[in-house]
Amino acid sequence: MGGSASGRRVTAADVARSLGVSRATVGFVLNNTPGQTISEATRERVLAEAGRLGYRPHRQAQALRRGSSRLVLLVLPDWPIEFTMRRHLEEASLALDEAGYSLVTYTRHEFGRTRPLWELLAPSVVLGFTPFDSDEIASMRACGVTDVFPTPEHAERFFESSAFTAGPRLQVEHLRARGHERLAFAASPDPRLSPLVERRARVAEEAAGEIDVVTVDHRDDSAFAAVRRWRSQGRTGVVAYNDDAAAAVIGAAVRDGLDVPGDLSVIGHDDSPLARVFLPSISSIRLDPVNVGRYWAGLALLHAEGKPVDSEESPDVDAAVIVRESTGD
């Protein structure tokens, strides 16, 4: 933040007063307003004096004048930011930057005590991975935010996309193709992930017909108990929620003297760096981050530019099985 020696923000009026020119002239130069007949000499004087005084543009004031802050606020639920999510966010940020917008992320905590970020930033658009409730939407409206998505009527929209359904189906198909008829599902213990875990487990069960869902945690003996349970049930294939859950199962199986994939085949999800370096390496599902990230960026731009949005449209994801040692190369 620029400012005078007194700590007060330096304004365009200060620059104009220092040079003895009109406030309008300084505004035209600093905002690079087209169609003005300001000489190059005057332009250079204004820019030099603004720099000398430490002028910095007041972004919120500019946003009010333009009617847009060119900020997109993406509100995340209280989920851990895992490998795939980071890739989605990186791609969305890049796509928005190409269009002249900045992406800001904000995490909603169930018992959070801070003011919502939309009350402080005046974003052009607020997007969420999960729907906003009526109190949140009322708060946004009170702050002048008019473009909000999704609303409560779109509660199932994102969770029905292929971002959540393609992977578990491919996991089941991959294990079935290798002769595994009785399957299990290794769930994450993180309670924040329960909506995602439940969704993937349900899709896997629909594809498999019947599946035994057990939570595994590398920090305790739950993975050992799960492996022994599945072996007693004659289950030979494990669909894991993510690569961390897959690693917990594989580690327990190997320490119990089982051969992976001979006695138990395990496939993870997300194709994280862990999957490549773990021993044995973990077969996994790779999701193309481009489509999901650019889907969210495109949705934000449609809202920002006042264009119609197809409420039934959902992101399509290119998903692929990356075969490694845990299911047999």
- Alpha-carbon distance of 204 to 166, in angstroms, equals 10
Position 109 pLDDT exceeds 80: no
Q: Order across the sheet with 125-128: list the strands.
A: 102-107, 71-76, 125-128, 148-149
Find, among 220, 208, 329, 242, the residue nearest to 280 by Cα. Answer: 329
Task: Extract the tokens encoding 225.
Answer: 């108990």
> What would the pLDDT profile of 157-168 be if each residue is shown by its tens digit?
555 666 668 899
Using the predicted structure, report yes or no on whether residue 116 has a pLDDT greater than 90: no
Helix (H, G, I), strand (E, B) or coil at 283: strand
DSSP helix/strand/coil, 75? strand
- Give the C-alpha separation, 177 to 35, whole Å: 67
Cβ partners under 8 Å of residue 57, min gap 6: 30
Q: Which two tokens stand for residue 256?
A: 């119990």
Residue 249 has pLDDT above 70, yes or no: yes
CA 239/CA 204 separation, integer angstroms: 8
Task: Outline where 99-161 has alpha helix (H).
Answer: 118-121, 134-142
| Most confidently modeled range among 38-42, 52-56, 224-228 | 224-228
Cα torsion angle, 30, 32, 35, 39, sign: positive
- Whether the pLDDT of residue 176 is over 60: the answer is yes
Strand blocks (E) in the chain: 71-76, 102-107, 125-128, 148-149, 183-187, 211-215, 237-240, 265-267, 284-287, 319-322
- Taking residues 34-44, report their average pLDDT: 82
Across 232-236, average pLDDT:
96
How far CA 140 is from CA of 143, 147, 297, in Å, comes to: 5, 9, 20
DSSP 242-271: SHHHHHHHHHHHHHTT--TTTT-EEE-SS-
What angle is formed at CA 53 by the lines to CA 51 and CA 55, rounded to 5 degrees?
A: 65
Range from 51-60, 68-77, 253-262 carrying the lowest mean pLDDT: 51-60
pLDDT of 175 over the 80 cut? yes
* Percentage of residues of the chain with pLDDT beyond 90: 35
pLDDT of residue 57: 62
Question: Sign (positive/negative) of CA torsion 139, 141, 145, 148?
Answer: positive
- The average pLDDT across 234-240 equals 96
Span 100-104, mean pLDDT? 85
pLDDT recorded at residue 315? 56
Answer yes or no: is pLDDT of 156 > 70.
no
Cα 324 to its chain centre, rounded Å, is 27
The pLDDT value recorded for residue 134 is: 78
SS3 state of residue 211: strand
Q: Is the confidence at residue 154, as pLDDT, over 50?
A: yes
Task: Determine the Cα–Cα distance for residues 27 and 300; give it in Å rounded to an integer.
Answer: 30
Which residues, listed in sequence order, are joined to residue 237 by a DSSP beta bridge?
183, 265
- Predicted structure pTM score: 0.68
Query: Hey, which residues does 213 pair with through a beta bridge?
Result: 185
Of the candidates 324, 197, 207, 194, the one whose C-alpha atom is nearest the C-alpha of residue 267 is 324
Query: 269 with 243: CB under 8 angstroms?
Result: yes
Per residue in 274-308, pLDDT (tens digit) is 999 999 999 999 987 677 777 778 777 777 776 66
Span 231-238, average pLDDT: 96
State the Rg of the chain over Cα: 26
Cα 127 to Cα 123: distance, rounded to the nearest angstrom: 10
How is the beta sheet containing 211-215 ordered, strand by strand? 211-215, 183-187, 237-240, 265-267
Q: Is the pLDDT of residue 1 over 80?
A: no
Rounded to whole angstroms, the Cα distance separating 254 from 263 reads: 10
What would the two tokens of residue 236 be?
A: 């030979």
Both tokens of residue 182? 């009785």
